[in-house]
Amino acid sequence: SAYVQQRSERLANLSTRFKSQQEHINKERDYIQRNIAGQNTRQAQGRQKRLDRMLRDGEIKLQKKHRTAHIAFKQPSRSGDLVLRTSDLVVGFRKDDQALFDVPDITLRRGECVALIGPNGSGKTTLLKTLLEEVEPFLGEVQLGASLQLGYFEQAQGGLQPERTALEEVMSASSEITTSKARSLLGGFLFSGGDVKKTMAVLSGGERGRVALLKLIVQGANFLLLDEPTNHLDIPSQEALQEAIRSFPGTILLVSHD
Q: How far apart are CA 217 and CA 202, in angstroms?
A: 23
- Quote the percentage of the chain above a pLDDT of 70: 93
- The pLDDT score that the predictor gives to residue 204 is 87
Q: pTM here?
A: 0.69
pLDDT for the residue numbered 66: 58
CA distances from 207 to 83, 201, 202, 214, 243 (A): 31, 11, 10, 11, 20
Contact 71, 237 (CB under 8 A): yes
Q: Give dist(CA 242, CA 237) in Å, integer.
A: 9
Would you state the pLDDT for residue 258? 66
The confidence score (pLDDT) of residue 20 equals 87
**Residue 143, H or E segment:** strand 139-144
Backbone torsions φ then ψ of 132, nearest 5 degrees: -85, 0
Residue type for position 41: T
Contacts of 41 (CB under 8 A, 6+ apart): 35
∠ CA 244-249-255, nearest 5°, is 60
Q: How confident is the model at residue 4 (pLDDT cuts 50, 70, 90)?
A: low
Question: Could you tell me which CATH class the domain 82-256 is placed in?
Answer: alpha beta
What's the alpha-carbon Rg for the chain, to the nearest Å?
27
Distance of CA 137 to the CA centre of its chain: 31
> pLDDT of 62-110, one tens digit each?
555 556 677 888 888 999 999 999 999 999 998 888 998 999 999 999 9
Round to whole Å and give the CA distance between 77 and 132. Answer: 19
Q: What angle do CA 4, 10, 12 make, to 5 degrees?
A: 100
Average pLDDT, the chain: 86
Buried b (16+ CB within 10 A) or exposed e, 36-46: eeeeeeeebee
Residue 17, pLDDT > 80, answer yes
